[in-house]
Structure 1
Amino acid sequence: MKNFLEALRIQRWDDHRYYHHCRINQSLHLLSAMAFVVAYGLLFVDPAMAALVAWMVSMTSRQAGHFFFEPLGYDHVNKATQDFKEEIKVGYNLRRKVVLLSAWALLPLLIFMNPGFLGLLPEHETLPEFLRAVGYAWLYLGVAALLFRTVHLFILQDVQTGLVWMTKILTDPFHDIYLYHKAPWQLLHGQRFADQDLHASR
């Protein structure tokens, strides 16, 4: 258990120091985390609605922070290139995220054109029914993406690395609230970057 917790600490620290320099990104992660906590609660009463909240609010705000606001050039703070960071990323790096988000964006179109989606989803006739079908599809996509990368890490590295990453992903909302709850206030005070050296290097 001690080794597991230390590995979890390292994965969290690497993710923070390599991919969360910008206070805008941190603030969007705070919004994402709070929405994820709501989605976790909704899972027990309305799984389809939980998935809609998770993907439309949590994932869009979280990934917008990474794609549009986080510096993508040379990381002077950690002395690392973007290519290096992408290569060592344990979970979904930016390239893998593009694939995942493409599947997420295409699913509503596929469901609209194929009601019931080969019997895997409830058929829809009204807009609310369509949204619920999309919600279930996004729920399945999220679970599949989590399990796929976990098993992939079992093969690429070892079982502990995969389980640690899965634990990190599932607990990230709570950890992000703890980590970034001051980010909006810091941003309002002109602190756009967590490290002034990085700010000067842009």
Structure 2
Amino acid sequence: MTFLEELQKQRWDDHRYYHHNRINQFLHLLSASCFLVSYVLVFFHPAAAALVGWLLAMTLRQTGHFFFEPKTYDEVNKASHDYKESVKVGYNLNRKVVLLSIWALTPVALLLGPDLFGLLSPATDLAGFISNMALVWLFIGLGAVLFRTVHLFKLMGVQSGLVWMTKILTDPFHDIKIYQKAPYYILKGEMYDTMEDWYEDRSLHNEV
């Protein structure tokens, strides 16, 4: 596959396997909007960007995955939850638990070692503590993306790793595009996406 073809495939697999629930889609829409704010803030106030990215964007996003997305057998794609977890290119739920645990333990680490082994200037007040914590969160986020990208270089090849990194960085724009109608479907009472339109579109595309 070309780079763009693999990007399309990774996006398609992520959508069809992990975004059936309309509330999850709506939370991804909100999350994507927060991430775009974070993208702007990172150039002017990195600490604020990290706070928006983790406390708002990531919390909304992972709430959708952990609490609303069904973990039962996927009749639409004829796949078990365990299978989907095993073929997930990026962070599956188990990997996310590890990542989120590291994120959640950051305040504890800073309380025990305010200078974080000499990497930071110790905070002298609450504002300084929050700023240091936010900066650590920023590097955790960037590190998580880079770590998985390099890991995918080994597992699937350099192109697949770069495709995944591109997907992750552009997900906010793509999520807004494909999930903007989620509130409309929720108001209609359609709580689950059957993926029928998506499969029809892909079928027509493949025929062409």
Q: TM-score, normalised by structure 2?
A: 0.92
What amino acid does structure 2 have at the position aligned with 1:138?
A: W
Q: Give 1:122 shift.
A: 3.0
User: Partner residue of 2:103?
Assistant: 104
User: Partner residue of 1:125?
Assistant: 124
What amino acid does structure 2 have at the position aligned with 1:114?
A: G
Percent of matched pairs sharing the same residue: 60
User: Partner residue of 1:144?
Assistant: 143
DSSP 3-state at the match of 1:39: helix
Is the contact made by 1:121 and 1:136 (CA closer than 8 Å) also made in structure 2? no
Deviations along 1:73-113, one digit per CA (max 9) or x if unpaired, are: 10000000001000000000000000000000001111122
What amino acid does structure 1 have at the position aligned with 2:156?
A: Q
User: Partner residue of 1:43?
Assistant: 42
User: Partner residue of 2:88?
Assistant: 89
DSSP 3-state at the match of 2:116: coil
Structure 2 alignment gaps of length 5 or more: 197-208
Corresponding residue pairs, total: 196
Deviations along 1:27-74, one digit per CA (max 9) or x if unpaired, are: 000010000000000000001110111000000110000000000010
What amino acid does structure 2 have at the position aligned with 1:100?
A: L
Q: Which runs of 4+ in 1 moved over 2 A?
A: none
Is the contact made by 2:76 and 2:195 (CA closer than 8 Å) also made in structure 1? no
Structure 1 alignment gaps of length 5 or more: 198-202
User: Partner residue of 1:25?
Assistant: 24
What amino acid does structure 2 have at the position aligned with 1:45?
A: F
Q: Give 1:18 shift.
A: 0.3
Write the distance in 1 (CA, Å) between the matches of 2:94 and 2:7: 23
What is the RMSD of the two structures over their aligned residues, measured on CA atoms? Answer: 1.3
